[in-house]
Each structure stands twice: as structure tokens, then as C-alpha cells.
Structure 1
């Protein structure tokens, strides 16, 4: 399996280091490097006197028998693909790693690899792919770079000069957030697996907005009973209990969306592909302002949604639901019941009849569960 050219170079290195100039001596030294009984030994013993007359003729005969292996060099396009595929894992940000026996920071090692790939891809002097590479950075590092670096040199400098204390602090906070969201997703998945009431599922989803804060006390629902959904046309009502003052819940009727008979249960945190798909679906529908034209456009969106998915269908991850004009941005830590900031669902004082459409509440909850509160401003 040895590369024959490496064998030849080893002989030449020995000749050079020992300053051997005599041709006959070079030939003899070459023969001593050949393993006895090997294919090379058989080849050597069958050479003619002309082929072993000098070091030059020996090398010619050797290269004729074992020609140099042609290297399949990577193309510029392949290097560009590697450049776009290069990733720094979120969990590695702010960590020390060992490279070739040397301790370094993970983002500095990434910086070196990125710089080499940019050079190999032939784009070092052109401001191309910078946006794609920046978007693929972990959020902690991306937040420490300019939104639109003018060139690669500026982008490289921003990564290399990022303050390690700031990186580690942001990485710690980001890790805590991911762990809290993971635990919350598992709780939601357990509830979904039991086919719970959507309002109860949303109550858990709303708690995502309080990550890092003291857990809010759930609203009192002493009479709430979780009932399995027997069929898609079932009408569910909260029946008043004469023993207390619990108000009857307004009637909720759902049928399965036409193109999504079964919503996949989520027992694991969302993948990057799922997050990308959800972000794209959020962008499908324009969130209109609280104006006359905005409300007219919103009503059109509702009619289009019902035409596509069916009147009374339940919103799913595949069927983005229009947002009420003038309400808070989606995934901004808003209340899923009224679309305002400053509180979460269980604390919402909005009368039931004035709350958001149930499908909008579900859509906001699904989006927040998968994407977190990326639109939060404070």
C-alpha cells in the first residue's frame, strides 16, 4: 500500500543528506533500500546493465514500472461547496479545543479553516458567499459580526477579534435557553401524545416565554378535563359544574386540515430543517397593520385559508394561520391568547370572546415552540 514515489523520495533524501555524488554509489544505495523477496526485488534483479548504469537510468526504469499517481485535485466548485458546508457547532462556541497538540479557541480554529477555504475557493477578493456563511454561524458568534460585512477581510477580523469573555457569556446563556426549551418540548410532547385538549397544550407552549424567570402559576381550571379526540368532527364543550363558578368554555370545533391528516408528535427538539421550514411558512403570510386596509386584507387571508384547508380545520405546522392586524409579532414572547406583550396566556385577562381566533393561538404556539422567541426585542 506504500506510495512508490515516497520510496524513491526516501532514497533521494538519504543521498542528499549524506552528500553522495558518485553515481555507482547511488545505485548501490538504492538497491539496499529494496526489501528482499519483494516485487521490487524481483524487478531489480531483472534489470539490464544499461538500466542500472547510472542513478538517472535507475530512476527512469523505476518510474516506468511505478508511475506517479495522478492526484485528483479538488475543483473550485468543490471548494465552494465545502465553504458553504463548513459549520461551527453551537455547543462548541466558547470552548477550548486541541488542534495538533495546541490548545486554541473553537472560533479561532474555525476562523483558520474558513480563511483557507475562502482562498481555495477563489473568492478571497470577491464579496460572495459572505452572507450565506454568516447566516450559518451559531447565533452567539453571528451577533458579534456586522449584518453585512463589505468583504472577507472585515468578516475574518470580526470573528478573530471577538471578545472571548463576551462569547462565553453569550454561549452560556444560549445553552441554558436551549436546555430549557428542550425540557419544555418534552413536556409538550408528552401532553400531545395523550391527545390532550389544544388549550392545555397551548398553556405549556406559552410557558416558553418565561424561560429564565420564575414559573408562572397556571390559571385555575378546577373542572378542566382532558378528553381524547375520538374523531375529527367531535364538538367539545366545558360543561359547567354547579359546585363552583367556572364559566362554560365557548364551543370549539376542529377538523383535520385537508393536507395534514396527522400532525407528527414531537418527542425531540426541532431539527434545523424543521426550523427553516417553519421560518419560511411564517414569512408566507403578511402581518397587516391595524388599519382599515389591513383588516380588509386580513379578512381576505382568512377566506383564502378556509378555502385551502377547510372551514373549521385545525391549524398545523403545515398550514400557517393569518395574524390579527395590530397584534404583536409572532415569536416575540407575546401572549398567545390576546397577542399582546407583558403577560403570558394563563395570566391573560382578556375576555374569552375577545381573544384571538383559536387557530391563531395554536399557530403562535407552534411557531414559538419550534423557533423560540427570535423576534423578542427585550
Structure 2
């Protein structure tokens, strides 16, 4: 069946391509009458030009010479409607597109339909990557292979070689991946992920257990660690100080020894302050769980039992509040209440106070200022403390 050739206007609308029209007309003539003469083709062309259009007026103005042969007519046609050169991307642009050509983890082991043919998604990805490498003119070398390989799903990467010297070798290996091994690798990765999530959940549970210290123990520790203060026993009477019984914490401040300072410094090195990101939080939870398993839930914090520092809080020994780990106020003026998420655990409070007592605020000049955000009764931010 002959190809339907639409009427040609010649008014340069976006929907019309002159070069495609003349090609379609030639194909139609070859199908209808392969032995047609130039005169027959020239006469037939007039019937494919829209009535009253710029194309029809052009045809009517053709000279005798231009109507003498099909070659002369097509030359006149191309002069009137020259072929527009298609835009082309540079090698660098194709390389950028190649780097953004990612294989999703969810697509591994999935069948896609390409040209009425069912293929594995990683096979389709490899063909598309190879085409981009060809367009970028890097298919014969190893340019960008390691960067693209790094972005592949873990299950695919594990079944590939460490290095590749050409894109053809690289993409061919991807297309040849054994589906049984690939699916097994995906299954093992998911199983490892599940076990890690269970382990993290157990760590969180141990941390919660470690936080169940009584307020009486907290106050006793703080009284013993407060700088320059005399700890007053809880049973003391305000009206009868002479009847107050002595307490083991009721002593004047004494300067820390060099031995104490060195022990505290080593404790800070053992448990570095973690950054406030996903990896930092995971390491912090691991530190907490290790501390609880080693020392137990009710062990008192001393220079020999250094305690992990909460990510996102101020640097230790930087003039911070020992109760919330931020700057701008002291522990006595801290507005955080017991149970507040901004409040530090009793053990961390004790450790920060002990470090400050032993080493002083030596980090004050280098620490970033971290402030506590104050909220009103409706939970609206009212300012920094």
C-alpha cells in the first residue's frame, strides 16, 4: 500500500518539514509507478501542493528550465526551502547524560518490552549506555566506566570485574549476567539489610534501658561534680544546719591532679564526638550499647568510665550547658525539663561536668556556637537561649 503523502503548504510551520515531504513524495512515486518519467513526476507534484499556499505560488513561478527535469525542480525546491541542520550534542554533553543514566535497584530482575521484544532491564540499560558512549566518542576506551559502575546497584556490581578497558567489554559483561546469581545476590543483600535493621533496633532498646537511672542518682552525681560548690545532703534541714549529718560529697573544691587530667584526655580520645548525620548516629548508638554492656546500667560515670557524647550537641569543654549541651546559658539556668528530647542523659551530664572540672573550657575559643531553641506553649519558636 502506498504511503499517504500529506499536502505541502511551504509556510514553515513547526508541523511541516520540507525535506521530509520531498522524500515522501519520491517514495510514493516509486511505489505507484517505478518507471515514471521526470515530466510525470513534475506534473504530479502540483497535486500535492495546498491550494493558495506559498508552495503552490512557488510552483506556478517556476521557469521553463526548472520544469525541464526532476533534478532541476528539486534543486529549486531545496533553494526555496533549504534543509535545516539538526542540533547535535557535544561529546561532553553525552558524557554528562551517560553519568546520569542510572540503573535503579528496583529494576534489577525486571523484564521490560523493547521493540515488541521482552528483555531484562539490565540488558536494556547496557544497550542504552553503550549507545551514549558511542555518541560521546568514548566507546573504545575506559573513560567514565568506573564512575558509571560505581552507581550500579550493589548486586550488579558484585558480579562484575574490578576493571574494564572498553565500554563494549563492560556492557557485554552486564548483558551476560547470570540471572540466578543476580537474583541470589539481591536476596542476600536484602537479608543483610534486615539483620542490620534488627541489630540497630536492639541497640536502641539497650540505649533506652541505659537511660532508666533515677533522679536521685543523677543529683547525687551532680552534687559531687559541681565546681566550687559544697554538696548539701538531701536530708539537711534549712532551719537547723547544726543537725546536718556529714556526707561523702560534702567537700570543698580541690584542683584536679595531672593524673586525673591525663585519664580524662584519654577518655575523650576513646569516645570521639560523632557528627550529626546518619553514620554518626549509628556510631553513637554503637558507643552507647558498648558502654552499657561493659559497665552496666547503674554504673557511676567517673574518669575511668568515659561516656559517649550526643551528636548535634556542643563540643565538650566549650562553656556549654551540662544539661542540654548548648551554649548561651549555664546548667542552673537551663529550661529543659526531665523527659525533654533536648535534655542530655544523666550520664552525659555527669561526664561533661567532670571533663570541665578536670580540663576547664579549653575548647571555648574554637567551638561552633550551638544554641537551644525556645518554644512557647503551642510549640512555636520564640528565639534562642
Give TM-score scaled by structure 1 length: 0.54
Q: For 1:30, which of 31, 42, 45 is the aligned residue?
A: 45
Q: Does 1:348 align with 2:293?
A: yes
Spell out, residue by residue over 1:312-354, the C-alpha distance to the aligned partner (whole angstroms, 9 max, x if none): xx84239969xxxxxxxx87x9934255xxxxx8x83544557
Matched residue, 1:317:
277
> Which residue, out of 160, 184, 205, partners 1:218?
205
| Corresponding residue SS for 1:316 | coil
Instruction: State how 1:295-374 maps to structure 2 within 5 Å.
Output: 299=269, 315-317=275-277, 335-337=286-288, 348-351=293-296, 353=301, 357-359=307-309
Instruction: Please report how far the alpha carbon of residue 59 of structure 1 lies from its aligned counterpart in structure 2 after TM superposition.
Output: 0.7
Does the 8 A contact of 1:144 with 1:158 survive in 2?
A: no
| Aligned-partner Cα distance in 1 for 2:204–2:310 | 24
Gaps of 5+ in 2: 1-14, 223-264, 314-385
1:359 Cα deviation from its structure 2 partner: 2.7
C-alpha RMSD of matched pairs (Å): 4.3
Contact 2:142 2:167 in 1 (8 A): yes
Give the 3 Å change call, closer, same or farther, for CA 238–120 of structure 1 in structure 2: farther
Q: Residue by residue, what CA displacement relative to the aligned partner does 1:178-212 show, whole Å, maximum 9, x if unpaired?
A: 7x69xxxxxxxxxxxxxxxxxxxxxxxxx73537x
Q: 2:215 aligns with which of 215, 223, 239?
A: 239
Query: Which of the residues 19, 22, 27 maps onto 1:5?
Result: 19
Assess if the C-alpha contact under 8 Å between 2:275 and 2:311 holds in 1. Answer: no
Contact between 2:155 and 2:185, CA under 8 Å: does it hold in 1? yes
The partner residue of 1:68 within 63, 69, 83 is: 83
- Per the alignment, in what secondary structure is the counterpart of residue 104 of structure 1? strand
Aligned residue for 2:72, secondary structure, equals helix
SS of the counterpart of 2:113?
Answer: strand
Provide the secondary structure at the position in 2 that maps to 1:97: strand
- Check conservation: 1:96, 1:104, Cα contact below 8 A: yes
Tell me by how many angstroms 1:107 deviates. Answer: 0.2
Question: How far apart are the structure 1 equivalents of 2:279 and 2:199?
Answer: 26
Choose which of 59, 78, 95 in structure 1 pairs with 2:74.
59
Cα shift at 1:131: 0.8
Name the structure 1 match of 2:173: 158
Q: Is the 8 A contact 1:93 1:107 kept in 2?
A: yes
Give yes or no for contact 1:337–1:356 (8 Å, CA) kept in 2. Answer: no
What's the CA shift string for 1:279-328, capped at 9, x where partnerless? xxxxxxxxxxxxxxxx98x84996xx8xxxxxxxx84239969xxxxxxx
Q: Distance in 1 between matches of 2:204 and 2:133?
A: 52
Q: Secondary structure at the match of 1:358?
A: coil
- Higher CA-based Rg: 2
Give matches, 1:1-378, under 5 Å.
1-17=15-31, 18-172=33-187, 174=189, 208-210=197-199, 218-219=205-206, 238-240=214-216, 299=269, 315-317=275-277, 335-337=286-288, 348-351=293-296, 353=301, 357-359=307-309
Counterpart-to-counterpart distance in 2, 1:110 and 1:77? 20
Indicate if the aligned counterparts of 1:108 and 1:160 stay in contact, CA closer than 8 A: yes
- d(CA) in 2 for partners of 1:177 and 1:40? 69
Question: 1:39, CA displacement in angstroms?
Answer: 2.8
Tell me the distance in 1 between the aligned counterparts of 2:306 and 2:30: 84
- Normalising by structure 2, we get a TM-score of 0.53
Question: For 1:359, what is the secondary structure of its paired residue?
Answer: coil
1:334 to 1:167, Cα distance in 2 relative to 1, 3 A = farther
CA distance in 1, matches of 2:156, 2:118: 20
Higher relative contact order (CA 8 A, sep 6+): 1
Of 99-108 and 154-163, deviating more is: 154-163
User: Is there any run of 5+ residues in structure 1 with no aligned partner, and where?
Assistant: 182-206, 226-236, 242-246, 252-294, 306-313, 322-329, 340-344, 364-378
